[in-house]
Amino acid sequence: VGRIGGAFGVLGGVRVPSFTDPPENLLEYAPWLIEDRGAWRAVSPAAAKPSGTGFVVQLRELASRDQAQALTGRFIAVPRAALPEIDSD
């Protein structure tokens, strides 16, 4: 549903382009899952604000720029059950 585009600021914020339509839907899904060393780990957005074509998001699990930079390029997924049902047509 999105991707970590890079670090933002010194407190562990990340830039996140959204793959959802409309882009704001990204912020409605929970939990976010990020691939980490072959496994998916859950992360929780604490705050988000629009920025360019995506958002700047502070994740509860990140406290530093170094932690945020380590996630650059990782995809954000959500459990299938968190997505809305698709219309039959």
- Confidence band of 77 (pLDDT split at 50, 70, 90): very high
**Reported pTM:** 0.88
Per-residue confidence (pLDDT) for residue 37, from 0 to 100: 83
Could you please report the per-residue DSSP string of 25-82? GGGG--SEEEEETTEEEEE-EEEEEEETTEEEEEETT--SHHHHHHTTT-EEE--GGG
The rounded distance, in Å, linking the Cα atoms of 57 and 54 is 9
Per-residue confidence (pLDDT) for residue 34, from 0 to 100: 96
Dump pLDDT digits (tens) for 23-70. 999 999 999 999 888 899 999 999 999 998 899 999 999 999 999 999
Q: Are strands 32-36 and 39-43 parallel, antiparallel or unpaired?
A: antiparallel
Which residue type, as a one-letter code, is found at position 5? G
